[in-house]
Amino acid sequence: MDPKVEKAVELYNQACDAEEKGDWALADALYLQSHALFEEAGGIHYLDAAIALNSLACLRERRGDYEGALCAARKSAKVMEMRGVLFHSPEATEIRLQGWGLIGNLLRQMARYAEAEQVLQRALKCACTAFGQASEESAAARNHLGILYKYTGEFNKAEWLYREALESLSAQYGEENEWVATLYHNLGGLFHARGDFAAGEPYALTAWEIRRRLLGEDHPSTLADAAAYAGILDGLERYAESEPIYVHALEVFERIYGSEHYEIVVNLNNLANVRFMRGDYEESERLFRRALVIKEKMLGRDHPDTALTANNLGVLLQSLGRLDEARGLFARALSVFEPQLGPEHPKTLMARENLKTV
């Protein structure tokens, strides 16, 4: 083996180990060094360079560095566009699809929905052409596009994509599969977004149960399923069941990720809602404000997720009679939802109605 390639492989494996141990700064640096050496080696190793960049993008996304992750994923796509055109293997196509999936999901998380849709539709078309309609690659591409349509309020499109993916994967792998758990999770989230909590409960619970059996109680993916199920319980007003789930998830996530991460802020927001509904207004306000500060730092003031927490804080303040503060928060949320999500999106309608009530 070329010494340069041998060193690149060694650095890549070290990066994976560092990421697993939570030393993310070291992992980031090692992925970059590995990528550079694979690029220098050239030839078939351009594919390895793209893989290293995709791994770096996943790491940065996990850390909440969406801009950095998008930069790495786009570099990977560029490598495949400039160099990977020489390779037509299934492996090369999988690398392209992973890069496009990362780009689409990151654009969606950054509320750049139109750009995300173009990339994810391209990925789905490529997956179906290269691997077939019933393939795992096509199911993954459908899932990514379905998540986007949930965020844009196109719930019927999202449900169709989720169910198509779930049907093909369940037939191939049975129920005890992580991708199957993910699709149950997403179907539960879709019914939550529709406000049909009773219909969403069995999906969310099934996802959590599968993941617990596969990964254990405190794996980050298991805890994300647990928190999603707790959100369904909130909709059913079963706060005594949901509250301990959020508290435990926050404890573990803060130990894994530190004080600022997307999973942490989601659980802060949801726990704040529970404390509000149970009458602990002081603690609810503290949690909402902490979540809002982190979201503003991570996502920016004008991101729909940030606006949602601003709206929720407004609901709390309105109930306490602090109407001027609430009015300002509702107006802020509406000014984000309406131009980005459209005038008829459920979140736009919610913020508009809230503003009208004060």
Residue 182, amino acid: T
Q: Write out the two tokens for 223.
A: 């805890």
Domains observed in the chain:
1-108 (1.25.40.10), 111-173 (1.25.40)
Joined together, the tokens standing for residue 30 give 């090692």
Calculated CA dihedral for residues 296, 299, 300, 305, nearest 10 degrees: -80
State whether the Cα torsion 131-137-139-142 is positive or negative.
negative
CB 51 within 8 A of CB 84: no
Is residue 200 within 8 A of residue 236, CB to CB? The reply is no
Selection from 152, 210, 159 nearest residue 187 by Cα: 159
Burial of 61 (0-12, 13-18, 19+ CB in 10 A): buried
Q: What is the pLDDT, as a whole number, of residue 261?
A: 82
Residues 6+ apart with CB under 8 A from 346: 153, 193
Distance, CA of 305 to CA of 113 (rounded, Å): 13
The pLDDT value given to residue 42 = 87
User: In sequence order, what DSSP letters do the residues of 93-160 get, joined into one string?
Assistant: HHHHHHHHHHHHHHHHHTT-HHHHHHHHHHHHHHHHHHH-TTSHHHHHHHHHHHHHHHHTT-HHHHHH
Dihedral over Cα of 232, 113, 179, 298: its sign: negative
The pTM of the full predicted model, rounded to 2 decimals, is 0.84
C-beta separation of 308 from 296 below 8 A: no
**pLDDT tens digit at each of 358 positions of the chain:** 688 899 999 999 999 999 988 898 999 999 999 999 999 998 889 999 999 999 999 999 988 788 999 999 999 999 998 876 667 789 999 999 999 999 999 999 888 999 999 999 999 999 999 999 999 999 999 999 999 999 999 999 999 999 999 999 999 999 999 999 999 999 999 999 999 999 999 999 999 999 999 999 999 999 999 999 999 999 999 999 999 999 999 999 999 888 888 889 889 999 999 999 999 999 999 999 999 999 898 888 998 889 999 999 999 999 999 999 999 999 999 999 999 888 988 899 999 999 999 8
SS (H, E, C) 315-358: HHHHHCCCHHHHHHHHHHHHHHHHHHHCCCCHHHHHHHHHHHHC
Give me the pLDDT at residue 107, please: 96
Q: What is the DSSP letter of 259?
A: S
What is the Cα–Cα distance from 248 to 276, expressed in whole angstroms? 18
Whole-number pLDDT of residue 181 = 97
Predicted confidence at residue 1, as pLDDT, reads: 67
Between CA 174 and CA 196 the distance in angstroms is 27
